[in-house]
């Protein structure tokens, strides 16, 4: 087997390093590299300081990377320094490309014209002048000699910079994901990047999803399966707990496909009751498919999740086919007025009870004329908890004409986590009802 092609990602930006904005480029690039069979070894986040960016590049070169991808630092402000640092790292001179400068200026003029009617929520170029554009964007036309230019998606061009002295090829991409992602595709078409990827062998990735089982139990299964003679050496298996579910992700070369099939079958046999997705489909997708297949619609009456359940159900394109609607009923009065929960019931059981959840589900179903109703009530915190019903107490109910399901659970975490995990509980209850 040839040694794998290794790569590193350098995410630049003080605002990312300092935690002000979350990086999504590192994870996205990781997925693309995996599809290509490139072994991502390190993702490094560094601030907008030339010395620290250069140190990261030098480290990745010393670790034997064939490819380094940078994101960010290509904007118009003075703290955007990536092209200059990469030129130095790669032994290249930085030169102004006048034709590129004109193309960037044309883009800026077009953007200004196009967003004129969109103020104040658009980017609002309308009221601003030519000067800010020219001064701010000339530096975006500085290119290391020998580099391949990737045409701007926004205003910043990308670069493929081969090393002048045997180091890694550097792919320089802009920070905004909406620019980085299309430019990645363009970069793959360049001979310069293809050259750096010679020898990469595509890898497979598979995902198993389970619900209602502790991670340590999966660890035990892995140990016992291996001790029992199952061949796992060629599988890179990682497990993690996410949004209340267990994910088992496995990466392997196509040659190890039989090993994976045997492993997946063994997990399915041991954990038939909790493995809800043997092919990696999310619970969101499974619920959507179940509703479409059955030709059923769903409606929600939610209290503690405050709209997030409806928001999750409508996150997928095409959800208008099966989401009849939803109502957010925070107060007791709203539960009665908009979801027909009897005031006497709330008085008897309190607003957080299995009975109220069931009444909310029935009310949502009846009000919206939906086939299935979802009712959610709970204590998201930080206030409102009691000895008997502490923060995290959540009651969920799903109701259809031919059956119903109820869940009363105690969820961990802060307000945001309780609200988020509640939607997972409800999706699984709905999935069970549709099965």
Identify residues 328-367 at the interface with a copy of itself (CB under 8 A): 328-331, 334, 338, 367
Among 87, 107, 183, 323, binds a copy of itself (CB under 8 A): 323
Q: Is residue 41 near a copy of itself by the rule CB under 8 A?
A: yes
Q: Choose the binding region for a copy of itself from 54-62, 143-151, 157-165, 187-195 (rule: CB under 8 A).
A: 54-62
Rank residues 21 and 96 by Cβ distance to a copy of itself and give the closer one.
21
Count of positions on this chain that bind a copy of itself (CB under 8 A): 128
Q: Is residue 280 near a copy of itself by the rule CB under 8 A?
A: no
Lay out the site mask for a copy of itself across 365-404 (x = CB under 8 A, - = otherwise). Answer: --xx------------xxx---------------------
Q: Is residue 215 near a copy of itself by the rule CB under 8 A?
A: yes
Q: Is residue 157 near a copy of itself by the rule CB under 8 A?
A: no
- HEC string for the chain: CCCCCEEEEEEECHHHHCCCCCCCHHHHHHHHHHHHCCEEEEEEEECCCHHHHHHHHHHHHHCCCCEEEEECCCCCCCCCCHHHHHHHHHCCCEEECHHHHHHHHHHHHHHHHHHHHHCCCCCCHHHCCHHHHHHHHHHHHEEECCCEEECCCCCCCEEEECCCCCCCEEEEECCCHHHHHHHHHHHHCCHHHHHHCCCCCCCEEEEEEEECCCHHHHHHHHHHHHHCCCCCCCCEEEEEEECCEEEEEEEECHHHHHHHHHHHHHHHHHCCCCEEECCCCCHHHHHHHHHHHHCCCEEEEECCCCCHHHHHHCCCCCHHHCEEEEEECCCHHHHHHHHCCCHHHHHHHCCCCHHHHHHHHHHHHHHHCCCEEEEEEECCCCCCCCCCCCCCEEEEEEEECCEEEEEEEECCCCHHHHHHHHHHHHHHHHHHHHC
Among 94, 142, 249, 366, binds a copy of itself (CB under 8 A): 249
Among 35, 130, 145, 217, binds a copy of itself (CB under 8 A): 217
Among 99, 121, 344, 388, binds a copy of itself (CB under 8 A): 121
Q: Is residue 415 near a copy of itself by the rule CB under 8 A?
A: yes
Among 36, 52, 88, 253, binds a copy of itself (CB under 8 A): 52
Q: Is residue 106 near a copy of itself by the rule CB under 8 A?
A: no
């Amino acid at each position: 087997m040839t040694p794998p092609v290794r790569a590193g990602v350098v995410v630049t930006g003080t605002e990312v390093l300092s935690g002000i904005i979350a990086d999504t480029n590192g994870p996205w690039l990781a997925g693309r590299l995996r599809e290509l069979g490139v072994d991502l070894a390190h993702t490094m986040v560094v601030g907008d300081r030339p010395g620290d960016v250069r140190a990261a590049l030098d480290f990745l070169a010393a670790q034997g990377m064939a490819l380094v991808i940078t994101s960010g630092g290509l904007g118009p402000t003075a703290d955007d320094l990536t092209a200059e640092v990469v030129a130095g790292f790669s032994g290249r001179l930085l030169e102004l490309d006048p034709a590129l400068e004109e193309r960037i200026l044309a883009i800026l003029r077009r953007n200004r014209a196009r967003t004129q009617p969109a103020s104040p929520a658009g980017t609002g170029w309308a009221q601003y002048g030519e000067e800010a554009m020219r001064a701010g964007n000339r530096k975006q036309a500085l290119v290391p000699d020998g580099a391949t230019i990737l045409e701007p998606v926004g205003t910043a061009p990308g670069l493929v910079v081969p090393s002048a002295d045997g180091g890694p090829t550097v792919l320089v991409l802009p920070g905004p994901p909406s620019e980085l992602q299309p430019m990645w595709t363009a970069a793959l078409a360049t001979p310069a990047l293809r050259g750096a990827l010679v020898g990469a062998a595509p890898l497979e990735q598979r995902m198993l999803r389970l619900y209602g089982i502790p991670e340590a139990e999966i660890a035990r299964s892995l140990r016992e399966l291996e001790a029992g003679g199952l061949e796992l050496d060629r599988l890179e298996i990682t497990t993690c707990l996410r949004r209340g579910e267990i994910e088992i992700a496995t990466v392997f070369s196509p040659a190890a496909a039989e090993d994976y099939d045997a492993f997946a079958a063994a997990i399915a046999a041991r954990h038939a009751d909790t493995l809800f997705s043997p092919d990696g489909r999310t619970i969101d997708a499974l619920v959507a498919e179940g509703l479409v297949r059955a030709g059923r619609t769903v409606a929600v009456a939610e209290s503690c999740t405050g709209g997030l359940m409806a928001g999750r159900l409508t996150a997928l394109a095409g959800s208008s086919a099966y989401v009849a609607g939803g109502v957010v009923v925070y107060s007791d009065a709203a539960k009665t007025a908009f979801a027909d929960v009897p005031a006497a019931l709330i008085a008897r059981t309190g607003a957080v009870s299995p009975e109220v959840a069931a009444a909310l589900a029935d009310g949502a179903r009846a009000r919206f004329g939906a086939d299935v109703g979802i009712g959610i009530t709970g204590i998201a915190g930080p206030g409102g908890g009691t000895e008997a019903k502490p923060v995290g107490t959540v009651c969920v109910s799903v109701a259809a004409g031919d059956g119903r399901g109820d869940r009363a659970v105690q969820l961990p975490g802060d307000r945001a986590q309780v609200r988020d995990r509640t939607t997972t509980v409800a999706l699984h209850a709905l999935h069970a009802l549709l099965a």
